[in-house]
Amino acid sequence: MSDEKIRVDFREDLDLETMAEAGRLLGKPLGDVIQSPDQPLAIAALVCVVKRRTDPSFTFERAKKLRPHEMDIVGGDDVPEVPGASNGAKLLASLEPSDSTPPT
């Protein structure tokens, strides 16, 4: 890896297509993984999808080997924190299915 950090701004980079592609990399819905012990893999999948926009050769395997100091993850300060998440990953709490039903 170079000294350049991979920047992911969840407010700017995270959209439904990105979340779906991350789920395909994981082989299961992103929301199923983000609160599990595999949460770092969910973050790696999102980083991978975003990085591929500028470097199509970037692989999920490479993303999984990133260290925290090699990433600059920002955004998501306005949503509740996911237990155990840090450095911007708390935005992913909004991906969780809700138990509430919409008003009729």
Determine, yes or no, domain membership for 31: yes
Element of type H or E holding 6: strand 6-9
Neighbours of 13 (CB within 10 A): 18
| The predicted structure's pLDDT at residue 93 | 47
| The predicted structure's pLDDT at residue 98 | 40
Determine, yes or no, domain membership for 100: no
Domain extent for 85: 6-95
Determine, yes or no, domain membership for 80: yes
Question: How many separate domains does the chain show?
Answer: 1
pTM reported for the whole predicted model:
0.71
74 φ, ψ to 5°? -130, 165
Determine, yes or no, domain membership for 104: no
| The predicted structure's pLDDT at residue 35 | 84
Determine, yes or no, domain membership for 101: no
Parts of the chain with a pLDDT under 70: 1-3, 76-104
Under a CB-based contact definition with an 8 Å cutoff, are residues 79 and 90 in contact?
Answer: yes
Please state, rounded to an integer, the average pLDDT across all residues of the chain.
78
| The predicted structure's pLDDT at residue 57 | 97
